[in-house]
Amino acid sequence: MINEKLEAAFNDQINKEFFSEYLYLAMKTYFMEQNLLGFVNWFDVQVQEEHAHAMGMFDYLNERGGKIELGAIEKPVVEGNCPLTIFEHVLRHEEFVTSRINALMDVAEEVKDRAAMQFLNWYLKEQVEEESTVGGVLATLRLIGDDKKALLMLDKDLAARTFVAPVIG
């Protein structure tokens, strides 16, 4: 049986992962409106990844005999009005998620749940990768500035991203 405090912390993070899915879906609509289909594809993959992250914790909590409590998902507000400022928001959000996974790890450590700590290591590694990927796109957007042609080239690159279902844990 999983510790109650840890169970609540997992439920909270499941909600945050579903919120991430929802936030990226909201960001995707901006790029749909701009007809930047490579960016749309990038956010499609991001949405699927967040769904997989949420479900990974959902399944794990169930496997551990915990009670899953699904809360309301907050309305997503996209901060930004161009690719650069939207990606700045993506990075801020990923940094926030990293801090939440760290906090969840702290609870697992506090209640000495080593199995949960081992499970959460996957999420910590994933956050390093996510922040690095987003940071890369952001750096390119900063270089691009107002150059529309260069933006279209980046859009073409982002069209190549594909979703690979993660093996979590």
> Footprint of ligand OFO on this chain (CB under 6 A)?
17, 20, 50, 53, 94, 97, 126, 130
Residue 97 or 105: which CB sits closer to ligand OFO? Answer: 97
Residue 24 or 151: which CB sits closer to ligand OFO? Answer: 24
Helix axis angle, 114-144 relative to 83-110, nearest 10°?
170
Tokens encoding 72: 């309301």
Task: From residue 80, give the alpha-carbon distance in Å to each of 27, 77, 86, 95, 135.
Answer: 9, 9, 5, 17, 16
> CB neighbours of 54 closer than 8 A, spacing ≥ 6?
14, 17, 18, 20, 21
CB of 148 to ligand OFO, least distance (A): 29
CB of 153 to ligand OFO, least distance (A): 25
Residue 34 or 98: which CB sits closer to ligand OFO? Answer: 98
Residue 7 or 94: which CB sits closer to ligand OFO? Answer: 94
CB of 4 to ligand OFO, least distance (A): 24
